[in-house]
A and B are shown apart, each in its own frame.
Chain A
Amino acid sequence: MSKLSLKDLLFICFCAVLLIAVRAAFRWRLGISGHAMFFTVFFLLLSRSCVSHRLTATLTGFFAGTAAIALGMGKGGPLTLLNFLFPALAIDLGAFLFPPLLGSYPLCALVGAFAGASKFFSAAAIGLLIGMDRTVLWQRAFIEAGAAMAFGCLGALCLPPVVKRLRAYGLFNPSGE
């Protein structure tokens, strides 16, 4: 793994901390399941588009999870890390499989939905760990994953306009595609 520069590492951390701050600010509990995935996917894709490294999104997810744990922003304690790591891994995998991902609306929507679907695994893992009934666990995981997919898709669709503008500024990293 090539070593990231300090500037890139700091930018990744800024994305992670902004993600936590925005998620915390929108924690309204209005009964809309999965809405946090909107911001998660957007910031993970944003960091992936600006820093050229294969594991940028994963690192951002790791930092976001660590900051969330340190600042007590997660209901699940240390398991909060899973809520960030699974979508981040999905995004890095998507960027690896589809190199022109970051400027394309359909590919962004696809990868956003894929990242949202990873909520199924984190919901199931947490449910299994706390000893939830299996039927209830799978039903809950499917419902949460469905909503997260929709919001992840919407969050990902917000990225191409930003990438387009950054490309116009000459700041978009072509090797990050």
Chain B
Amino acid sequence: MFPVFAKLPSSSADGKAASPLLSPGTALTLCFVLSLAAVIAHSASVLLFLSLADGVFLYLCRINRHSLWRAGKIFLWQSTLVTGLYLLRFGVAAGLGPGLLISWKLVLAFTPGLALAQGIPQNGIEKAMARILPQRMAFALSMSIKFLPLLTREIRAVYEAQVLRGARILPRDLWRWRNWSDFFHSLIAPSVVQAMLLAENIAQAARSREFGRYPRRTIWPG
């Protein structure tokens, strides 16, 4: 149970977490505004401005290079996929521009959330959420956001193990609907079990730290 907490994503590679330059409340507000602006923006000039703003936001959240590189690989894959689908659907002339624009918007929509999840300490996000939600709910929601990268890594490990065992769940296999039963049986169901185990571990760790004993004493440092 406890080794799980030793691998919190906000910790840097040398074990020392860099302190963000923003308060959690400000970071949460900025994250909301920047992501929303990226979703509703249409012109390239606005997206360019938002890219600069996201760069500043990443710096203020003190994201380390390792996290940036990992996120960059995901963005690159997603942008290639989205642009490729646009090219297939609309052709090169009509699809390239919109495909790249949507990919750019996606990157800008995801970046503030990444900075918030990786750069701001969990108790800070919890404090900010606790202003609008009951303490227990705020704790559960902030913990689930914090542990989402860990859960996705575990789901990925399940996926790779099942592929090695011969499960027909590779992207090319899923074009055949008959293979979807493999997908549900060998990936989704074990992933649900992993999520349950992780929830149990976090709940047990919280209980062992006297979580819920006092109504207002759930955040450390207070």
Contact = CB atoms under 8 A, between A and B. Distances in A.
Interaction A to B: yes
Interface in A26-71: 27-30, 46, 50, 63, 66-67, 69-71
Interface in B145-176: 145, 147-148, 151-152
Nearest to B204: A7
Which secondary structure dominates where chain B touches chain A?
helix
A72 B137 contact: no
A162 B188 contact: yes
A77 interface: yes
Interface in B177-222: 180-181, 184-185, 188-189, 192-193, 195-196, 198-200, 202-203, 206-207, 211-212
Interface stretch (B4-12, B15-23, B29-37, B61-69): B29-37
Which secondary structure dominates where chain A touches chain B?
helix
A166 B192 contact: yes
A11 B184 contact: no
Contact of A71 (B35, B82, B140, B202): B35
A55 to B, nearest CB: 13
B189 A72 contact: no
B207 A6 contact: yes
B106 interface: yes
Interface of A: 5-18, 21, 24-25, 27-30, 46, 50, 63, 66-67, 69-75, 77, 158, 161-162, 165-166, 169, 171
Please give me the 5 A-B residue pairs with the lowest Cβ-Cβ distance, nearest first. A72-B35, A13-B144, A165-B189, A10-B199, A7-B203
15 contacts: A14-B195, A30-B85, A46-B192, A63-B141, A70-B28, A71-B35, A71-B145, A72-B31, A73-B39, A75-B36, A77-B36, A162-B192, A165-B189, A169-B193, A171-B193
Interface of B: 28, 31-36, 38-40, 78, 82, 85-86, 89, 102, 106, 109-110, 112-113, 116, 129, 133, 136-137, 140-141, 143-145, 147-148, 151-152, 180-181, 184-185, 188-189, 192-193, 195-196, 198-200, 202-203, 206-207, 211-212
